[in-house]
Amino acid sequence: MNSSGLLSAISAAVCWGTFFVPIKKVKVVDIWQLQGATGIGVILFAIPVGFFWGFQILPSGLLSGAIWTAGNVLALYSVRLIGLSRTSPFLAGFSILVSFLWGILYFGEKFNHMILAIIAVGLLLAGLVFISNTSKNSPIRKSGYLIAAASGLVGGSYVIPLQATHSLQAGFFSSSLSIFAIGMPMLLLSRKFAKREMLAGALSGSLFNMGSLSVLIAVGIIGITVAYPISQTATLFAVSWGILYFREIVHRQGILRVITGAGLILCGAAFITIA
């Protein structure tokens, strides 16, 4: 496997695994304000990159940004309901499944060992079961998991318009601009501009776009069926932040279940890379 593509995918995992930390730290509760501030961070990171990759305005990039925004808003709601340590693995699992299906069914990417790839998908699903059983299934918990799953299904497709039009690099600025343009009206309607919350959102946006830049490079080198699953090992970092730093889960049994579920998801991602 190409080492530069692998390193790019791992870099995306680190950035995306830390993406929610600033906003969780300052306890931002207004989703619209948060999405708007995130958009500011996204565009601030994209502008210097544009001097190397260009400032083209491409429909595929605009669509990609809109898809990501929808997925991120769902993810933010899920984090608020069930926490970072539960949302991230669930989101990652469904994102991996969606990117896997896109790669196989639409882009015609092939595996050398299809049985191993199927086993990998099974591990991903098993991991989701472990994580969803870490607490009593109250209505709030159930809705949180459903929203996290929806976020993964939507977010796992955000790279597709760029890859389908062979504009992974050229569409980066367009995607960022779309996220910014959609976020600004949301921010204005929220009528909340507190400095601390705005800075947290902007930092999160920069972390996301750093990861996005890395995953686009990786997809161009090693393909979406490999690059995207590796990037979704971000769940390992997110779970660590949620359990060790934010103390979202304190009971030993719950912690073990989340760790086991995250481990299964990571194994599934690893198997996909070698299948």
pLDDT for residue 155:
85
Supply the angle between the helices 252-274 and 224-231 in degrees, to the nearest 10.
160
The string of DSSP letters for 48-59 reads HHHHHH-----H
pLDDT per position as a tens digit, 155-181: 889 889 998 898 888 899 999 999 999
pTM of the model: 0.81
CA atoms within 13 A on the CB side of 122: 6
pLDDT for residue 134:
56
- Considering only CA atoms, which of 210, 185, 209 is closest in space to residue 33? 185
pLDDT per position as a tens digit, 108-120: 877 778 788 888 8
Average pLDDT over residues 222-243: 79
